[in-house]
């Protein structure tokens, strides 16, 4: 629906299916993500969102499917690659739902580890580094510069020498994004980056993601439950339910898609939108839902 | 049960101590209370009782638990804990000075008036374990890979020197790099298939590997001469100068070259300096590589392997490099061992050795270089000096390993300094 | 053929003993995900307690073999399980939630401690015991070789099988078994729904130690000699058995034990006996590399 036609997508997912024994976590999923765009994957709990991420980043081998990533004119088939090669060669970086920093290393070291491959090459697989050759010193200086850039960007410069594990929660989330960015990715996958953030932090996160999209110019793939984040910053939203795609389009389209509303709120049991739920949703969505309630029910498709 | 500070709940404490005493009774009764004795002369085994010992053990358990609950409930452990942490920090902050002082002391040690043959010998032994500890620290402390078969690489190093000397007349200096390479090659050989395993599986596999190497050394008679070992391994020379009273035809001995009176101590002191140099090289290497990307990747792998993969780090190769480099230093130490003893046999490479080296690393504080030195002095030096204690050494260090893990899992001196600092004023960091 | 059959019998006997020890490894691994490195020493302590119990019974004049065996069995299980309980309480429980190598290092420390504790108390020399159960019968003869089945081997296999069956029943029928299985699945959740997790873990150690004690008793009878060092190798092999069968799986431990016993018996019979331990370790490495989940284990899905 959002096909831009003239542009080749950065990531092209086709027929992605992931089975765990009898459970089908993702079922024949297809979608695309472009650079300079924020693509959000939303869906109820257990819809298979994180599984999609795990397939993209090499933690799971998809049962079926082709995951094509295009970087500098080369096509990478992610489903055939080891996780570390996906990050190193294809340039896909990710964060985790439950933050995974290196807690007993400093904030700055976390960002330096992210530049491992660049530095490793410059250190001549440690030989040049051991001897302290200028080519390595230069590379290390550049790595520090990049780290400094992201420290500034996520507001952690004055805590750069802290142990990462000592940072408050919101700062850990930001650091994880900064660390992913230090790998110089072409696609950044964020697994619920706004989870547990307060309103202000969530706002700052939006700014950061927009900045990454517009100024760094890479593609961002986002799993998120916080609709305010999704609706405000996404260019393109994909909705999953029970491992299937039920909607795909710009935020406006998705927001008004009856299939989405059904998936989130059901049709039979809940006749009315409860106030507690309404409080958490953006007003437009509430309006859409309320109008939907007034309409006669359609036949249940599923 | 839970006592408020200041007013211990005595009935509760008594009951708890009583229970501990009861458990102690059950533990002590069969193994302490009875003693099996060999009656000799085909009379088979006899048994005698030692019930007073049981009473002592039970009473000790009761009193110990009582004191622990009544007194240590207060702030004593916290205070000790904190001062140890601070000690670690002080050590870390003044590393340069402490290291300089320690190295100076190590260098002048053989010249000090009280340095007799026994002391220098002992210091050499301690330094061997310091070197092994530093080598293993790369694997366990930095990369977080629990290697229970480190002694295998020590053995490979020792036997490669012994065999090369035996068959090809290699000198120590020619064999040293080869011993290191061989050990590293064995590290790769073992590491390649098993390093993708979970940490605790890796521990068992390395343990098994250590045993395999020992069994092979013991039974591959044509090559290793089995339990008899290989003797007459050439002693290392000082730039070609031998430490012998009467050198072979055409050779010059150390004492002749320097115009000294021949003394057996020369070789002892030389060996001491040799291991000191080898150990310092290991240390310098570790300090340097920690600041390189590979060193940081090792530590990152220890912290979170999954995160490492998403940053493009190849976990298997990175672990393999730590494993191989650790093994290499084990190999160097092994060839030194062979040169010092002049004799190798499988007996020197049992699991107990691996455990001892691991204990040196763990007790000192994983990743802490100073800690290794302190732990080596305590675990190797003290029992060797007080021979009577030797019997209890293993008992104590087994117990100490448990106690340290329970009490300070990061080791006695565990304070990690970042490998790189931003050089920008920092907000005060909350202490973890 | 006769020779083969004899090795089969020997291997099964040995395998039954390994299986008993392996159960302790596999259950502890299942419930707290750690290798109880000191388990081999618990088995060694079981052997020593059995040994001492036999001597004491002999000294006070209990000589009727079935009675002596029954008493020793109970005594060894009782006292050894206190050791199992204490080890968990002192060395492992305080470390739950610590960093991942901590319990393993603590376990190694405990293993070294127990070995030297027994050595100091009972001496380092090998302890011989006069044969208690003697006799047997020839079940097959041919080619100048007779297949011999001793009463002791029958006792070992029968006792082991009965105990395993009992244990199996306990795990699948009783509330302890339910709690045990619940904790294996998810300890936090089990705690939330009212399972006493600490007690369940303690009981797991107690049960594992009791079975190891039986293995210790059987070995004392079978070989007639023990020393403080027997726990190390037996522990490693039993662990290999647990991994081979699929760690965490009870039938796996039994199957693995029997397989390791058979492999060892046949290796000793047909190849170089000196290298039989190498064969066992080699198998461990091969299994871990090619099928880390073992024969009956469930695959682990990496949680990200």
Task: Name chain A's partners: 3 or more CB pairs within 8 A.
Answer: B, C
Q: Residue A1 — pLDDT band, cuts 50, 70, 90?
A: very low
In chain B, the residue whose alpha carbon lies closest to the alpha carbon of C112 is: B398
- pLDDT exceeds cutoff 80 at B84: no
User: Where do we find the tokens 């160097």?
Assistant: B332
Which of B219, B391, B405 faces C109 most closely, judged by CB atoms? B405
Residue B35 has phi, psi (to 5 degrees) of: -130, 125
**Cβ–Cβ contact C101 with A under 8 A:** no
* Cα–Cα distance measured from residue A133 to residue B288, given in angstroms and rounded to the nearest whole number: 13
What pLDDT score was predicted for residue A7?
Answer: 62
Worst-scoring range by mean pLDDT, B70-84, B373-387, C19-33? B70-84
Cα distance from A156 to chain B (closest Cα, Å)? 10
Q: And the tokens for B78?
A: 């916290």
Q: What is the CATH number of domain A6-91+185-250?
A: 3.40.50.300
Which of C54, C234, C277, C288 to mutate to probe the B interface, most B CBs <10 Å?
C288
End-to-end CA distance of chain A: 22
Arithmetic mean of pLDDT over chain A:
84
In chain C, the residue whose alpha carbon lies closest to the alpha carbon of A53 is: C304
Please name the residues between 85 and 144 in chain C that touch chain B, using a CB distance below 8 Å.
Answer: 85-86, 90-91, 94-95, 98-106, 108-118, 120-123, 125, 127-130
Q: Are residues B7 and B69 in contact, defined by beta-carbon separation less than 8 angstroms?
A: no
Q: Are residues A17 and A65 in contact, defined by beta-carbon separation less than 8 angstroms?
A: yes
Q: Residue B414 — pLDDT band, cuts 50, 70, 90?
A: low
**Cβ–Cβ contact C176 with B under 8 A:** no
**Cβ–Cβ contact C289 with B under 8 A:** yes
In chain C, the residue whose alpha carbon lies closest to the alpha carbon of B29 is: C79
**Cβ contact C288–B205 (<8 Å):** yes
**Cβ–Cβ contact B389 with C under 8 A:** no
**Cβ contact C113–B399 (<8 Å):** yes
Give the model confidence (pLDDT) of B126-174 as tens digits: 999 999 999 999 998 889 888 888 999 999 999 999 999 888 888 888 8
Q: Residue C54: which of C217, C195, C262 has the closest Cα?
A: C217
Which of B219, B306, B398 faces C275 most closely, judged by CB atoms? B219
What pairs with residue C140 in β-bridges?
Answer: C147
Cα distance from C284 to chain B (closest Cα, Å)? 7
**Cβ contact B310–A159 (<8 Å):** no
- pLDDT exceeds cutoff 90 at C59: no
What pairs with residue B76 in β-bridges?
Answer: none
Q: Residue C232: which of C41, C36, C84 has the closest Cα?
A: C41
Cα distance from B181 to chain A (closest Cα, Å)? 16
* Cα–Cα distance measured from residue B412 to residue C32, given in angstroms and rounded to the nearest whole number: 26
Residue contacts between B and C (CB atoms, under 8 Å): 175
In chain B, the residue whose alpha carbon lies closest to the alpha carbon of C302 is: B306
ipTM of the complex: 0.85
Q: And the tokens for B123?
A: 């210091």
**Cβ–Cβ contact A84 with C under 8 A:** no
**Cβ–Cβ contact B406 with C under 8 A:** yes
Mean pLDDT of the region A41-54: 87
Cα B247 to Cα A107, B168, B244, B253: the distances in Å are 60, 21, 6, 6
What pairs with residue C149 in β-bridges?
Answer: C137
What pLDDT score was predicted for residue B425?
Answer: 78
Q: Residue A298 — pLDDT band, cuts 50, 70, 90?
A: very low
Burial of residue C41, with CB atoms counted within 10 A of its CB: 0-12 exposed, 13-18 middle, 19 or more buried? buried
**Cβ contact C302–A59 (<8 Å):** yes
Please name the residues between 106 and 145 in chain A that touch chain C, using a CB distance below 8 Å.
Answer: none
If one compares A285 and B403, the residue with the highest pLDDT of the two is B403
The long-range contacts involving A116-124, CB below 8 angstroms and separated by at least 24 positions, are: A116/B293, A116/B296, A116/B297, A116/B300, A116/B311, A116/B312, A116/B313, A117/A88, A117/A183, A117/B312, A117/B313, A118/A143, A118/A184, A119/A143, A119/B292, A119/B293, A120/B293, A120/B294, A120/B297, A123/B292, A123/B293, A123/B294
* Cα–Cα distance measured from residue A45 to residue A242, given in angstroms and rounded to the nearest whole number: 9
Which of C101, C299, C304 to mutate to probe the A interface, most A CBs <10 Å?
C304
Residue contacts between A and C (CB atoms, under 8 Å): 6
Q: Residue A239: which of A178, B117, C247, A250 has the closest Cα?
A: A250
* Cα–Cα distance measured from residue B248 to residue B261, given in angstroms and rounded to the nearest whole number: 18
Cα distance from C302 to chain A (closest Cα, Å)? 8
What pLDDT score was predicted for residue A279?
Answer: 65
Cα distance from C299 to chain A (closest Cα, Å)? 11
Arithmetic mean of pLDDT over chain B:
84
**Cβ contact A50–C304 (<8 Å):** yes
**Cβ contact B292–A148 (<8 Å):** no
Q: And the tokens for B217?
A: 């050394």
Q: How many CB atoms lie within 10 A of CB B410?
A: 22
* Cα–Cα distance measured from residue C91 to residue C87, given in angstroms and rounded to the nearest whole number: 6
Q: Are residues B138 and B368 in contact, defined by beta-carbon separation less than 8 angstroms?
A: no
Q: And the tokens for C301?
A: 């899905």
Residues of C in Cβ contact (< 8 Å) with B147: none
Kind plus residue range of the DSSP H or E element containing B343: strand B343-344
Three-state DSSP string of chain A: CCCCCCCCCCEEEEEEEEEECCEEEEEEEEEEECCCCEEEEECCCCCCHHHHHHHHCCCCCCCEEEEEEEECCEEEEHHHCCHHHHHHHHCEEECCCCCCCCCCCEHHHHHHHCCHHHHHHHCCCCHHHHHCCHHHHHHHHHHHHHHHHHHHHCCCHHHCCCEHHHCCHHHHHHHHHHHHHCCCCCEEEEECCCCCCCHHHHHHHHHHHHHHHHHHCCEEEEECCCHHHHHHHCCEEEEEECCEEEEEECHHHHHCCHHHHHHHHCCCCCCCCCHHHHHHCCHHHHHHHHHHHHCCCCCCCC
Give the model confidence (pLDDT) of B240-294 as tens digits: 777 877 777 777 778 778 877 777 778 888 899 999 999 999 999 998 898 899 9
At residue B230, the 3 state secondary structure works out as strand
What pLDDT score was predicted for residue A4?
Answer: 46
**Cβ contact A102–B297 (<8 Å):** no
Q: How many Å is the Cα radius of gyration of chain A?
A: 21
- pLDDT exceeds cutoff 60 at C176: yes
Burial of residue A271, with CB atoms counted within 10 A of its CB: 0-12 exposed, 13-18 middle, 19 or more buried? exposed
Q: Which residues contact C25 (CB under 8 A, 6 or more apart)?
A: C35, C36, C39, C208, C238, C239, C242, C247, C253
What pLDDT score was predicted for residue A299?
Answer: 41
Burial of residue C68, with CB atoms counted within 10 A of its CB: 0-12 exposed, 13-18 middle, 19 or more buried? middle
* Cα–Cα distance measured from residue C214 to residue C207, given in angstroms and rounded to the nearest whole number: 11
Cα distance from A207 to chain B (closest Cα, Å)? 24
Mean pLDDT of the region B64-79: 72
* Cα–Cα distance measured from residue C235 to residue C41, given in angstroms and rounded to the nearest whole number: 7
Q: Residue C26: which of C271, C246, C197, C279 has the closest Cα?
A: C246
* Cα–Cα distance measured from residue C23 to residue C251, given in angstroms and rounded to the nearest whole number: 9
Give the model confidence (pLDDT) of C227-255 as tens digits: 888 888 888 889 888 888 888 888 888 89
**Cβ contact A113–B418 (<8 Å):** no
Task: Name chain C's partners: 3 or more CB pairs within 8 A.
Answer: A, B
What pLDDT score was predicted for residue C299?
Answer: 66
What pLDDT score was predicted for residue B42?
Answer: 59
Cα B127 to Cα B193, B282, B398: the distances in Å are 33, 11, 21
Q: Are residues A280 and A226 in contact, defined by beta-carbon separation less than 8 angstroms?
A: no
Q: What is the DSSP string of C16-43?
A: HHHHHHHHHHHHHHHHH----TTHHHHH
Q: Are residues C30 and C293 in contact, defined by beta-carbon separation less than 8 angstroms?
A: no
Please name the residues between 180 and 199 in chain B that touch chain C, using a CB distance below 8 Å.
Answer: 193-194, 197, 199
If one compares C279 and A180, the residue with the highest pLDDT of the two is A180
In chain A, the residue whose alpha carbon lies closest to the alpha carbon of C298 is: A21
What percent of chain B stands above pLDDT 90?
Answer: 25
Kind plus residue range of the DSSP H or E element containing B303: helix B293-303
**Cβ contact C301–A96 (<8 Å):** no
Residues of A in Cβ contact (< 8 Å) with B306: 59, 96, 100
* B230-231 vs B343-344, strand pairing mode: antiparallel
**Cβ contact C304–A20 (<8 Å):** no
Burial of residue B90, with CB atoms counted within 10 A of its CB: 0-12 exposed, 13-18 middle, 19 or more buried? middle
Q: Residue B417 — pLDDT band, cuts 50, 70, 90?
A: confident
Q: How many Å is the Cα radius of gyration of chain B?
A: 25
**Cβ–Cβ contact A93 with B under 8 A:** yes
Arithmetic mean of pLDDT over chain C:
86
Burial of residue C131, with CB atoms counted within 10 A of its CB: 0-12 exposed, 13-18 middle, 19 or more buried? exposed
Residue A267 has phi, psi (to 5 degrees) of: -120, -40
Task: Name chain B's partners: 3 or more CB pairs within 8 A.
Answer: A, C
If one compares B274 and B2, the residue with the highest pLDDT of the two is B274
What pLDDT score was predicted for residue B399?
Answer: 87
Q: Residue C6: which of C138, C133, C131, C135 has the closest Cα?
A: C138
Range of the domain at C116: 16-237+247-254
User: Where do we find the tokens 């995900």?
Assistant: C33
Give the model confidence (pLDDT) of B106-128 as tens digits: 888 888 877 788 888 889 999 99
Which of B216, B306, B402 faces C110 most closely, judged by CB atoms? B402
Q: How many domains does chain C have?
A: 1
* Cα–Cα distance measured from residue B119 to residue C45, given in angstroms and rounded to the nearest whole number: 39
Q: Which residues contact C31 (CB under 8 A, 6 or more apart)?
A: C180, C183, C184, C187, C200, C201, C204
**Cβ contact B44–C128 (<8 Å):** yes
Residues of A in Cβ contact (< 8 Å) with C304: 50, 54, 59, 96
Kind plus residue range of the DSSP H or E element containing B287: helix B264-290
Residues of C in Cβ contact (< 8 Å) with A192: none
Strand order in the sheet with A64-71: A23-33, A11-20, A64-71, A74-77
What pLDDT score was predicted for residue C251?
Answer: 87
Q: Are residues B300 and B313 in contact, defined by beta-carbon separation less than 8 angstroms?
A: yes
Give the model confidence (pLDDT) of A110-142 as tens digits: 999 999 988 888 887 677 777 777 888 888 899
Give the model confidence (pLDDT) of B16-67 as tens digits: 888 999 999 989 888 888 888 877 655 667 888 888 888 999 999 998 888 8
**Cβ–Cβ contact C300 with A under 8 A:** no
Q: Are residues B25 and C86 in contact, defined by beta-carbon separation less than 8 angstroms?
A: no
| Domain chopping of chain A, boundaries | 6-91+185-250, 103-184, 256-294
- pLDDT exceeds cutoff 70 at A284: no
* Cα–Cα distance measured from residue A273 to residue A271, given in angstroms and rounded to the nearest whole number: 7
**Cβ–Cβ contact C302 with A under 8 A:** yes
| Domain chopping of chain B, boundaries | 10-72, 93-407
**Cβ contact B300–A126 (<8 Å):** no
Cα distance from A129 to chain B (closest Cα, Å)? 6
């Amino acid at each position: 629906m959002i096909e831009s036609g003239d542009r080749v997508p950065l990531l092209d997912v086709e027929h992605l299916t992931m089975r765990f024994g009898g459970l089908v976590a993702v079922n024949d999923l297809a979608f695309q993500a472009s650079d300079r765009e924020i693509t959000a994957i939303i869906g109820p709990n257990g819809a298979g969102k994180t599984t999609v991420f795990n397939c993209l980043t090499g933690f799971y081998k998809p049962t079926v499917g082709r995951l094509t990533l295009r970087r500098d004119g080369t096509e990478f088939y992610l489903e055939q690659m080891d996780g570390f090669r996906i990050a190193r060669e294809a340039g896909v970086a990710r964060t985790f739902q439950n933050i995974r920093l290196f807690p007993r290393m400093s904030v700055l070291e976390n960002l330096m580890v992210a530049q491992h491959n660049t530095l490793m090459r410059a250190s001549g697989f440690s030989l040049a580094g051991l001897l302290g050759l200028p080519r390595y010193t230069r590379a290390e200086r550049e790595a520090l510069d990049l780290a400094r850039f992201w420290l500034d960007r996520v507001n952690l410069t004055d805590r750069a020498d802290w142990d990462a594990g000592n940072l408050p929660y919101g700062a850990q989330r930001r650091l994880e994004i900064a660390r992913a960015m230090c790998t110089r990715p072409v696609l950044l996958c964020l697994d619920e980056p706004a989870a547990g953030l307060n309103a202000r932090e969530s706002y700052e996160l939006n700014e950061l993601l927009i900045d990454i999209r517009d100024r760094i110019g890479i593609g961002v793939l986002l799993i998120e439950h916080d609709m305010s984040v999704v609706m405000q910053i996404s260019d393109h939203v994909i909705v999953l339910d029970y491992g299937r795609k039920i909607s795909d389009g710009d935020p406006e389209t998705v927001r008004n898609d009856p299939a989405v509303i059904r998936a989130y709120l059901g049709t039979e049991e809940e006749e009315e939108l409860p106030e507690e739920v309404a409080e958490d949703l953006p007003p437009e969505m509430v309006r859409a839902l309320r109008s939907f309630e007034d309409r006669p029910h359609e036949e249940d498709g599923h | 049960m839970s006592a408020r500070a200041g007013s211990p709940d005595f009935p509760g404490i008594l009951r708890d101590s009583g229970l501990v005493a009861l458990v102690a009774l059950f533990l002590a009764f069969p193994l302490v209370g009875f003693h099996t004795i060999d009656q000799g002369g085909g009379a088979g085994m006899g048994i005698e009782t030692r019930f007073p010992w049981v009473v002592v053990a039970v009473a000790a358990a009761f009193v110990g638990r009582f004191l622990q609950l009544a007194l240590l409930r207060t702030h004593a452990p916290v205070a000790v804990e904190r001062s140890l942490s601070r000690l670690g920090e002080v050590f870390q902050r003044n590393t340069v000075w402490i290291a300089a002082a320690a190295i100076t002391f190590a260098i002048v040690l053989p010249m000090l008036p009280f340095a007799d043959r026994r002391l220098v010998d002992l210091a050499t032994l301690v330094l061997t374990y310091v070197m092994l500890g530093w080598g293993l620290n790369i694997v366990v402390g930095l990369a977080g890979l629990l290697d229970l078969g480190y002694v295998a690489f020590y053995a490979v190093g020792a036997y490669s020197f012994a065999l090369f000397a035996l068959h090809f007349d290699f000198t120590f200096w020619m064999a040293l790099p080869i011993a290191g390479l061989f050990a590293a090659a064995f590290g790769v050989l073992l590491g390649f298939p098993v390093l993708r395993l979970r940490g605790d599986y890796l521990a068992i596999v390395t343990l098994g590997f250590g045993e395999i190497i020992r069994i092979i050394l013991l039974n591959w008679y044509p090559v290793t001469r089995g339990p008899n070992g290989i003797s007459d391994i050439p002693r290392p020379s000082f730039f070609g100068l031998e430490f012998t009273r009467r050198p072979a035809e055409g050779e010059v001995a150390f004492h002749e070259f320097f115009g000294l009176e021949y003394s057996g101590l020369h070789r002892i002191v030389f060996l001491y300096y040799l291991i000191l140099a080898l150990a310092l090289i290991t240390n310098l290497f570790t300090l340097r590589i920690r600041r390189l990307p590979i060193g940081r990747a090792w530590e990152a792998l220890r912290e979170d392997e999954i995160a490492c993969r998403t940053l493009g780090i190849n976990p298997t190769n990175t672990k393999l490099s730590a494993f191989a480099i650790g093994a290499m230093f084990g190999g160097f130490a092994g060839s030194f061992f062979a040169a010092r003893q002049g004799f190798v046999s499988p007996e020197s490479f049992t699991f107990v050795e691996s455990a001892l080296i691991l204990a040196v690393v763990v007790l000192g504080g994983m990743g802490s270089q100073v800690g290794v030195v302190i732990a080596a002095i305590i675990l190797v030096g003290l029992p060797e000096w007080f021979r009577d204690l030797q019997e209890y050494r293993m008992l104590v260090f087994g117990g100490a390993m448990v106690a340290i893990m329970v009490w300070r899992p990061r080791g006695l001196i565990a304070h990690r300094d970042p490998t790189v600092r931003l050089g920008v004023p920092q907000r005060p960091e909350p202490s973890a | 053929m006769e020779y083969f059959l004899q090795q089969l019998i020997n291997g099964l006997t040995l395998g039954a003993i390994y299986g008993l020890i392996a159960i302790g490894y596999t259950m502890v691994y299942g419930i707290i995900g750690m290798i109880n490195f000191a388990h081999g020493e618990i088995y060694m302590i079981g052997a020593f307690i059995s040994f001492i119990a036999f001597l004491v019974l002999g000294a006070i004049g209990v000589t009727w073999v079935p009675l002596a065996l029954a008493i020793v069995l109970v005594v060894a299980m009782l006292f050894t399980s206190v050791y199992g309980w204490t080890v968990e309480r002192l060395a492992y429980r305080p470390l739950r939630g610590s960093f991942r190598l901590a319990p393993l290092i603590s376990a190694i420390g405990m293993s070294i401690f127990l070995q030297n504790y027994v050595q100091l108390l009972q001496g380092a020399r090998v302890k011989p015991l006069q044969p208690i159960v003697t006799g047997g019968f020839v079940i097959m003869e041919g080619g100048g070789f007779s297949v011999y089945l001793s009463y002791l081997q029958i006792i070992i296999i029968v006792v082991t099988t009965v105990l395993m069956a009992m244990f199996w029943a306990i795990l699948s029928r009783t509330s302890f078994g339910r709690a045990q299985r619940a904790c294996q699945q998810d300890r936090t959740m089990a705690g939330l729904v009212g399972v006493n997790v600490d007690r369940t873990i303690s009981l797991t150690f107690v049960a594992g130690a009791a079975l190891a004690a039986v293995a210790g008793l059987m070995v004392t009878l079978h070989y007639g000699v023990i020393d403080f060092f027997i726990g190390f190798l037996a522990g490693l092999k039993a662990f290999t058995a647990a991994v081979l069968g699929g760690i965490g799986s009870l039938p796996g431990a039994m199957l693995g034990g029997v397989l390791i016993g058979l492999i060892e018996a046949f290796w000793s019979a047909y190849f170089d006996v000196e290298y039989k331990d190498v064969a066992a370790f080699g198998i461990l490495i091969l299994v871990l590399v090619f099928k880390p989940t073992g024969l009956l284990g469930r695959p682990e899905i990496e949680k990200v």
